[in-house]
Amino acid sequence: MPGGPRWDRRSMLRTGAAAFGGAGVGWSASALLPSEASAATSAAGETLTLAPPAGSETAPAVVGRHQAGVTTPPQAHLALVGWDLRARRSRESLRRMMRLLTDDARRLAAGRAALADTEPELAAYPSRLTVTFGFGPRVMRELSTVDAGLEPLPAFRGDALDDAWGQTDVVAQICADDPITLAHARRMLLKDARGFAEVRWIQEGFRTARGTAPAGASMRNLMGQVDGTVNPDPAEPDFDGLIWADGEAGGGAGGRAGGEAFAGGTFLVVRRIRMDLEGWDRVDRRGREEVVGRRLDNGAPLTGEHETDAPDFNATTSFGFPVIDPASHIARARSSDPVQRFLRRPYNYTVPDPSRPTGEDSGLLFLAYAADVARQFVPVQRRLSEMDRLNEWTQAIGSAVYAIPPAATDDGYVGESLLGTDA
């Protein structure tokens, strides 16, 4: 009645009194699920089943023991949300927060409305939605019962880090092919976390829309470069050792801690890289290719013809100069150590900024997944920061690292193996 107490799922969980099941609240979601296929009639009167629309496609919520969104083919849109836990943080409150987030993420990814969703119509088309959760160093140090070996990233030469884009306690990587689906999922998760954490930042990104380029084509960043050519392929025998923590200390990429509780997890590096596109515009095409070490038309190294051709750093011109500049981006990023590889999942960003001559701030949200950040990512980034010609037009303004726990069990939540059992 008016003025009486208002009970909802979030208030019940926050007080530790969540005794309700889901009965009676799932009807609106199921009523709104799109049909998996539509029917048409041929000229001969036969009934034909058509492929489902792209909006009704779902991505696997769990890949083995891994969270979705790492090896999932990248979707067109990204919202990266970073939260800081409130001052009176506790393991118990983080458990409750992650239960809420995991439950709603699971429902939304399946095309079902979140519990207490006031706009369930917006959840009807999942559009390959995935949500990937991670914990920052402070959470792993103070609240986790498991030592996964997560350490803050070291300082790199040339960085101009803004704390507004810095390290947070919790992160959610939300990806979908439809921006409305993405915006709705983000709003639901922000509502879930409101009583437990404060938003430090939301970083939005985009890639080429589905259907614009051939499936599997490498993304282009806003400088026109093909980005992600050297990504390890899941079919390669060393892929799992490079990306996933298997719980065996010293195995795979080396030095992993966490034991069985972290097996199936990985680590995420987030770097917000601002681009000087106005300055880049003044560089001619040949100069751009020499800076990068690759052709701009198809991404091939300057010594090759195709994007995936191996670069020949020993090749010289008729005058004896290297074809690929040793200070080019491709040369500085490459290593003879096969361990110094990781899975890139980059997104472009552009936001209005009237203080800049162009009226906008543009760049790259560089996301990288690795089993051992210190051994795989850090050496590469140090080489780039020391002598990469591309640094004249790029600068990191944000940096963070996260432990990505294994996937949740069917009735559990992400992070449960790291946070222990409820009291």
Report the distance separating Cα 413 and Cα 349, nearest Å: 30
Tokens for 216? 């599997």
Q: Which two tokens stand for residue 368?
A: 């990288």
Q: C-alpha 165: how far from its chain's center?
A: 15
In 2-151, DSSP assigns E strands to 39-41, 47-49, 62-63, 66-67, 77-85, 130-135
Alpha-carbon dihedral sign for residues 232, 235, 238, 241: positive
Q: How far apart are CA 151 and CA 141, in angstroms?
A: 9
Query: What is the C-alpha separation between 102 and 132, in angstroms, rounded?
Result: 9
Residue with tokens 């917000």: 272
Which residue among 192, 227, 246, 388 is the active-site one?
227
* Helix/strand/coil (H/E/C) assignment for every residue in 259-325: HHHHCCCEEEEEEEEEECHHHHCCCCHHHHHHHHCECCCCCCECCCCCCCCCCCCCCECCCCCECCC
Whole-number Cα distances in Å, 363 to 97, 177, 356, 360: 32, 20, 13, 10
Asked whether the beta carbons of 343 and 337 are under 8 A apart, the reply is: no
Distance, CA of 269 to CA of 280 (rounded, Å): 26
CA atoms of 214 and 254, how far apart (whole Å): 36
Tell me if residue 309 is catalytic. Answer: no
Q: Which residues are catalytic?
A: 227
